[in-house]
Amino acid sequence: MARWEPDASRRLAHAALELFAERGYDDTTVLDIAQRAGLAKSTFFRHFQDKREVLFGEDALTGPVVAAIAEAPAGATPLEAVALGIDALGGTVFTPAHHAFSVRRRAVIEAHPDLQEREALKGISLTASIARALVRRGVPVLTARVAAELFALALKVTYERWSEVDNTDEYGDLARQTLSEVQAAVPAV
């Protein structure tokens, strides 16, 4: 591919996942990734701080979720607002076109403890953002934190189900099913 072709960030991310799968995360360098993408090493660093950022760099989840919570109807319960946030991800992040990438990304992260830790930290940050969004809606702090934690659980389970290699279900269908299961479990606790 020519160096000037558009969408360098996406090309770098796909090249990185291919190499991580072939060689392992530790045995893949930034130069390897750039070369596989047909780009210069300096181009890599214009898009990502380091090779971990290929997997975690862009926070595509927080914006759509927080916006959906903010736009929820005034009478929506915290969990209804959270459900709208999870639904919003189906049209922006967890699309059918992104499924194969997510399957590979998940496999790389599950094979590397440092990446698992980074994924957990990213989840904590998202959960805190959701709690703040709910508090801005007037939800009491403790209730907002509980709803945010339930959101995090539902999102994690939905993502695990959706990113299975053999999954053919749409993200939105899995999200609604998982949310229903989580909500049904709450009174039992």
pLDDT digits (tens, 9 = 90+) for 29-64: 999 999 999 999 999 999 999 998 888 866 788 889
Question: What does the pLDDT average to over 172-179?
Answer: 90
Predicted confidence at residue 59, as pLDDT, reads 75
User: What does pLDDT average to over the chain?
Assistant: 89
Q: Report the CATH number that the domain containing residue 168 is assigned in CATH.
A: 1.10.357.10
Model confidence pLDDT, tens digit, residues 105-121: 899 999 999 899 999 99
- 84 and 168 together in one domain: yes
- 69 and 12 together in one domain: no
Predicted confidence at residue 86, as pLDDT, reads 87
Predicted confidence at residue 9, as pLDDT, reads 87
10 Å CB burial of residue 124 (0-12, 13-18, 19+) is: exposed
In a domain, 2, yes or no: no
- 18 and 71 together in one domain: no
Q: The pTM is what? A: 0.82
- 167 and 94 together in one domain: yes
* Domain enclosing residue 105, as ranges: 59-185
Least confident of 13-17, 62-66, 96-100, 126-130: 96-100
Model confidence pLDDT, tens digit, residues 133-155: 999 999 999 999 999 999 899 99
